[in-house]
Structure 1
């Protein structure tokens, strides 16, 4: 890690991976800026973290990331409250989706707006602050689904996650000669509210705690990109990239 990232903003912090990342970073003594639509849940999380780690600061704010103007407002407010934003984790996302052409454009559009367009707004707001500070670490949560196009309910989801991965790489390319770092994470099957409906019979699913621990380790190392957990997702990722599509579709 090139510098201590003391103040960390996490979107979608009210549940799942975001909630557990907050716990892991709090245990490392980091100050947190937590936002989500469900303020009752992040207020409860704030109380839990301050009880367990009284030496840290935890700021919370309501945020629907599809309200793009609000994204900029909330990020700047967190920066002003904590003094700096040292790391921003673009985590908020949606798993809703239906097969293309089956009359559910509404569901697919909602997923595209939340997972890509709203992620773009978060990246814009974060990097604007980092450019002003001349320092910072942007973390974008993609997915192993980004490796290839996937069928059925995962088609739009996989496309959005491939899109945010390309977005993060483009930002990284633009900032290569600056102190600003960019990390793209590709989580595999990690138990969360997003995955709970599809987790039955999934042999590669790991607990939220184990999966997030591997994510946090990769974030702290400020790696350009990482598949998490590394085993078995590094070899699976290679296979997904190179196998015939008819075999890759079995992942979906």
Structure 2
């Protein structure tokens, strides 16, 4: 059964995939909630969306999703304003590239709180409302990295492995309630993510992937939404990324260990 979803909430909506989710969902819903830390960026995006989609009510909410109180404040405000979402896009995420032993704990702690805790908490706050209605959709942005234990990207890859596993289990739990859950596992995308994952004082960040693996953010989001509304459990956007996800899943862990030992070093 195809539902009309009235309201969508997008975290990390101030740039990259989050901004693109907002653009592509604007024509499908009546209300949009854009959440991120940068108010100025959110306001600018909201104004563009309102001009292009005058029928859509766009709400902007600046929040640091690493903080428990700000997540609860967000949902309380949504409930009070009639903006409780029927589509939840858990897109906000942080990365950190480099050796685990030299990582700044504050950066790792923030990554764990945003990538895992915030995503789980928002789902816990909002999913019961969807289940009561008997309809809803949750898209959790994971990564191709979720399929691998990646040296120099150890914590980030582990957080995304959690996202994919959590999404699979939650999908089964909520299926009978009419709520669709999916994980989106993109490979490299040209967004601000690579730059923000670069450590302070370092001239370079993650080694660039082969150009054939880069998928435009427009395609990533389009394939993600198509998969979500089409009832898919997991989507690897782009032919090359989908093939990589399949192949990685078929490689024994003992062989993966040997391959990953030969990773390029900075």
Q: Is the 8 A contact 2:215 2:237 kept in 1?
A: no
Aligned runs of 1:230-241 on 2, under 5 Å? 231-241=239-249
Question: Shift in Å at residue 248 of structure 1?
Answer: 4.8
Question: Shift in Å at residue 173 of structure 1?
Answer: 2.3
- The SS at the match of 1:64 is coil
State the Cα deviation string for residues 96-121 of structure 1 (Å, max 9, x = none). Answer: 24322235333322222221112111
Please give the root-mean-square deviation of Cα atoms over the aligned residues, in Å: 2.3
- The SS at the match of 2:175 is coil
Q: TM-score, normalised by structure 1?
A: 0.89
Change (3 A) 1:97 1:148: same
Question: Shift in Å at residue 84 of structure 1?
Answer: 4.2
Q: Is the 8 A contact 2:5 2:29 kept in 1?
A: no
Q: TM-score, normalised by structure 2?
A: 0.85
- In structure 2, the partner of 1:136 is 136
What are the ranges of 5 or more consecutive residues in structure 1 without an aligned counterpart?
A: none
1:101 and 1:126 map into 2 onto residues whose CA distance is 37
Question: Shift in Å at residue 28 of structure 1?
Answer: 3.7
- The SS at the match of 1:175 is helix
- The SS at the match of 1:131 is helix
State the Cα deviation string for residues 75-99 of structure 1 (Å, max 9, x = none). Answer: 2422443454211111110012432
1:237 and 1:251 map into 2 onto residues whose CA distance is 20
Question: Shift in Å at residue 167 of structure 1?
Answer: 1.5
1:94 and 1:127 map into 2 onto residues whose CA distance is 23
- In structure 2, the partner of 1:88 is 88
Question: Shift in Å at residue 159 of structure 1?
Answer: 0.1
- The SS at the match of 2:176 is coil
Question: Shift in Å at residue 30 of structure 1?
Answer: 4.6
- In structure 1, the partner of 2:215 is 206
2:190 and 2:95 map into 1 onto residues whose CA distance is 13
- The SS at the match of 1:2 is coil
